[in-house]
Copies of this chain bind each other. A is one copy, B any other.
Amino acid sequence: MADDAPQTDPPAETTIRSRVGFGGRMLTVRVDDVRLPSGRESGREVVEHPGAVAIVAVTDDARVLLVRQHRHAVGRALLEIPAGTREPGEDPAATARRELIEETGYAAAQLTVLTEFFASPGYTTERLWLFMATGCRPVAGQRDAEEPAALEPVPLADLATVLPGIEDAKTLVGLLWLMRGESP
């Protein structure tokens, strides 16, 4: 690591009490009282999330599969890489294969993990597994009929043009990661 500096983690917080502040159908908010390293008490509100997958999916004819869908939380439609929430206990690779077919109607020949990261570690436990899917081909009749996302394949060569219009964190990570690998 940089300058061979010692990698000492900052002191952690100790949880004193924990309760469920909100238990909804999709979201749970945990309210924790913590003791800070200074000895002072403070509160933490945490969104509990089962985790999600996102897939950089490239077709046999060198196009990246993007989907446009309405996002109620932000009040408009966004162009994103295919993604979905894990079922409890589900293997992330299984979630990725399922979501790719449901959202795009394509199946991957190869599926590998590019990286894993947290969506917004200040307040949500959401962890994302970012997959690279290659050799993607349409699978007849497999796209989810209830799927509200519109498929928009983008040629690899056009990614730099599309990038400024991307407003979704996981999609930016996925496309920038892909473009880094594609660059000379």
Contact = CB atoms under 8 A, between A and B. Distances in A.
Interface stretch (A43-51, A93-101, A134-142): A43-51
Given A9-B76, A169-B173, A177-B176, A119 B119 contact: yes
Count the copies: 2
Interface in A92-121: 115-121
23 contacts: A2-B154, A3-B155, A9-B70, A10-B70, A10-B77, A10-B150, A12-B70, A12-B76, A25-B43, A27-B45, A29-B29, A37-B148, A52-B122, A73-B118, A74-B118, A74-B127, A115-B164, A117-B167, A117-B168, A118-B168, A121-B168, A172-B173, A183-B183
Interface of A: 1-3, 5, 8-13, 15, 21-22, 24-27, 29, 31-32, 34, 36-37, 43-47, 49, 52, 63, 68-74, 76-78, 80, 85, 115-128, 148-150, 152-155, 158, 161-162, 164, 166-170, 172-173, 176-177, 179-180, 183-184
